[in-house]
């Protein structure tokens, strides 16, 4: 039935939900000009009707019952910003069953159950959009699906977690310890009381699974992503990286060589000349390489009420435009390529390695001989006294090497008497050899 107003059921009235209401109410004329239809927040699912809100006048639209949104025939679109897996998954599937279009900002849900949700949407002829689930206000998902539709993406590399980027930026700027900066980030609200999801890389891993699925058209799962967080990064690592021309960033990497794919999240030494090296604070950036277009980069705020809400409302506008044209459910491309994951011998990278060794003649020669045995060669070497001259500290940057060779070499190093401690090992990106 033709309507002049599209009615929206909003699930969640927290930070992002509030931002969605602000934008929809404040941009009515612009939204109408873009879509030819009015957009109205018809009902809002909340947990507590009595909770003080920064927006007034919405009290009569709030409900505690999700069925008032899912079962309301007047509601055309469900916007889900409550987060978490359950009950969000059940709400979204029920909404699709009732042929309601869905916009969500839920990265956890889409990383774990996106394939099931998109399949249901396809069957029901509904739209499901989730731009806000990755990199906040940066329109990266739309760019992957639409902007690169005629290209083949070979590499996506990015800073997709603002909390960790803030922590690493402060450590770099102030020479501070990880624990000290984490406390500061928590006090400022940049990090949660339990920061595990952010600092151990799980949040970024979910986003990289989504990016890889869309960019490579493969059914990527969260368990396919190799994950290492930043809790082990020391101020010494950062200082030595600077000496050699690198900045430490938590980098999400999705790379395709031929048909084989690798996806990882890990602290990485990024050369100061690379565009990602200058992305600081809570900002996000995603670098995309296409076979035809070459290098592109998307940069902007990765979180916050209005940046994330802007991405949600942009998706909402797309749904409404599709309704006007009668093409809902036709724009989604489900993953259609077979997933082939790289073996460790095919994962190639340069590496930064820092270790404490016995300060005696011939140690460096033993190490370089071991490197050669594992087909690993060096670009840079730095050696200096450690512990008052009792030991030596060696920092190395390698040429490109296979992960399997590097792992085997590290295992051998750890068993050598002259190697007292392997302090750190990081991938290296940027600066062509």
- For residues 33 and 151, state if they share a domain: no
**Domain for residue 275, yes or no?**
yes
Q: Confirm whether 336 is domain-assigned.
A: no
pTM equals 0.91
Res 390 pLDDT > 90: no
Name the residue range of residue 165's domain.
140-300
pLDDT tier at 145, thresholds 50, 70, 90: confident
Residues 276 and 352 in one domain: no
Q: Which of 7, 124, 170, 207 is catalytic?
A: 207
Q: Which helix (H) or strand (E) holds 15?
A: helix 15-26
My answer on whether 97 and 235 are in the same domain is: no
Same domain, 144 and 293: yes
Asked whether residue 166 falls in the same domain as residue 282, the answer is: yes
Do 128 and 144 sit in the same domain of this protein?
A: no
pLDDT value of position 2 = 55
Helix axis angle for 28-35 and 305-325, nearest 10°, is 30
State the pLDDT at residue 389.
83
Q: Could you confirm whether 207 is annotated as catalytic?
A: yes
* CA separation for the pair 284, 303 (Å, rounded): 9
Q: Is the pLDDT of residue 383 over 60?
A: yes
Cα dihedral 87→90→91→93 (10° resolution): 160
As to burial, measured by CB atoms within 10 angstroms (0-12 exposed, 13-18 middle, 19+ buried), residue 94 is middle
Confidence of residue 35 (pLDDT cuts 50, 70, 90): very high
Q: Which pLDDT score, from 0 to 100, does residue 1 have?
A: 41
Whether pLDDT at 433 is above 60: no
Q: What is the structure's pLDDT at 150?
A: 86
- Given a contact cutoff of 8 angstroms between Cβ atoms, the answer to whether 248 and 268 are in contact is yes
Highest mean pLDDT of the ranges 224-228, 302-306, 389-393: 224-228
Q: Is the pLDDT of residue 163 over 90?
A: yes
CATH for 407? 3.30.70.260
pLDDT at 167: 97
Q: Is residue 218 part of a domain?
A: yes
145 and 288 together in one domain: yes
Give me the mean pLDDT over the 302-309 stretch. 80
Residues 103 and 183 in one domain: no
* Whether 165 and 285 share a structural domain: yes
pLDDT recorded at residue 329: 87
- Mean pLDDT over 177-198 rounds to 93
Region at 280 (left for phi over 0; alpha for psi -120 to 50; beta for the rest): beta
What integer is the mean pLDDT of 137-152? 86
Please give the tally of structural domains in the chain: 3
Could you tell me if 75 and 208 lie in one domain? no
Q: Residue 152: pLDDT above 60?
A: yes
Contact 65, 84 (CB under 8 A): no
Give Cα 351 to chain centroid, integer Å: 22
What are 237-273's pLDDT values in tens digits?
A: 999 999 999 999 999 999 999 999 999 999 999 999 9
CA atoms within 13 A on the CB side of 63: 16
Residues 112 and 196 in one domain: no
- Of residues 142 and 340, more confidence is placed in 340
Residue 335 is assigned to a structural domain of this protein: no
Residues 65 and 188 in one domain: no
Per-residue confidence (pLDDT) for residue 149, from 0 to 100: 84
What is the secondary structure of 390-419 as a DSSP string? TEEEEEEEESSEEHHHHHHHHHHHHT-TTE
**In the predicted structure, residue 206 carries a pLDDT above the cut 90:** yes
Domain boundary among 325, 358, 378: 325
Between CA 389 and CA 372 the distance in angstroms is: 28
Residue 338 resides in a domain: no
Calculate what percentage of the chain has a pLDDT beyond 70. Answer: 98
pLDDT of the residue at 370: 95
Confidence class for position 381, pLDDT limits 50, 70, 90: very high
Classify residue 150: in a domain, yes or no. yes
Would residue 420 count as lying in a domain?
A: yes
Question: Per-residue pLDDT tens for 321-377?
Answer: 999 999 998 866 677 889 999 999 999 999 999 999 999 999 999 999 999 999 999
CATH number of the CATH domain containing 101:
3.40.50.720
Q: In whole angstroms, what is the distance from residue 376 CA to residue 368 CA?
A: 9
Nearest alpha-carbon partner for 125 in 323, 269, 361: 323
Residue 34 lies in a domain: yes
Residues 6+ apart with CB under 8 A from 107: 130, 133, 134, 203, 206, 207, 210
């Amino acid at each position: 039935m033709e309507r002049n107003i599209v009615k929206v059921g909003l699930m969640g009235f927290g930070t992002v939900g509030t931002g969605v209401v602000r934008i929809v109410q404040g941009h009515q004329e612009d939204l109408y000009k873009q879509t030819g239809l009015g957009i109205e927040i018809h009902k809002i699912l909340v947990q507590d009707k009595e909770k003080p809100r920064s927006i007034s006048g919405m009290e009569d639209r709030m409900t505690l019952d999700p069925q008032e949104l899912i079962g309301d025939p007047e509601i055309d679109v469900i916007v889900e910003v409550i987060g978490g897996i359950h009950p969000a998954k059940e709400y979204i599937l029920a909404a699709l069953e009732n042929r309601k279009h869905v916009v969500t900002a839920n990265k956890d849900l889409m990383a774990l159950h996106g394939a099931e949700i998109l399949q249901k949407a396809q069957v029901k002829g509904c739209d499901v959009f989730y731009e806000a689930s990755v990199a906040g206000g940066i329109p990266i998902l739309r760019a992957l699906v639409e902007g690169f539709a005629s290209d083949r993406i070979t590499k996506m590399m990015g800073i997709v977690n603002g909390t960790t980027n803030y922590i690493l930026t402060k450590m770099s700027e102030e020479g501070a310890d990880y624990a000290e900066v984490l406390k500061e980030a928590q006090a400022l609200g940049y990090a949660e009381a339990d920061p595990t999801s952010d600092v151990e890389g799980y949040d970024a891993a979910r986003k990289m699974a989504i990016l890889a699925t869309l960019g490579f058209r493969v059914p990527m799962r969260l368990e396919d992503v190799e994950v290492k967080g930043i809790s082990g990064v020391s101020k010494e690592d950062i200082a030595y990286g600077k000496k050699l021309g690198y900045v430490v960033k938590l980098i999400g990497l999705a790379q395709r060589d031929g048909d084989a794919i690798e996806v990882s999240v890990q602290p990485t030494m990024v050369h100061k000349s690379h565009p990602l090296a200058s992305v600081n604070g809570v900002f996000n950036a995603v670098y995309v390489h296409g076979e035809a277009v070459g290098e592109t980069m998307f940069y902007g705020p990765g979180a916050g009420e209005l940046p994330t809400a802007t991405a949600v409302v942009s998706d909402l506008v797309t749904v409404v435009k599709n309704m006007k044209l009668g093409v809902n459910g036709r724009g989604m491309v489900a993953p259609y390529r077979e997933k082939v994951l790289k073996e460790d011998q095919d994962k190639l990278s340069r590496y930064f390695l820092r270790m404490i060794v016995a300060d005696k003649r011939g140690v460096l020669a033993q190490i370089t001989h071991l490197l050669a045995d594992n087909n690993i060669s060096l670009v840079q070497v730095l050696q200096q006294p450690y512990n008052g001259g009792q030991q030596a500290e060696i920092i190395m940057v390698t040429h490109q090497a296979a992960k399997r060779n590097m792992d085997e070499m590290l295992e051998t190093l750890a068993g050598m008497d002259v190697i007292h401690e392997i302090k750190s090992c990081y991938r290296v990106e940027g600066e062509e050899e």
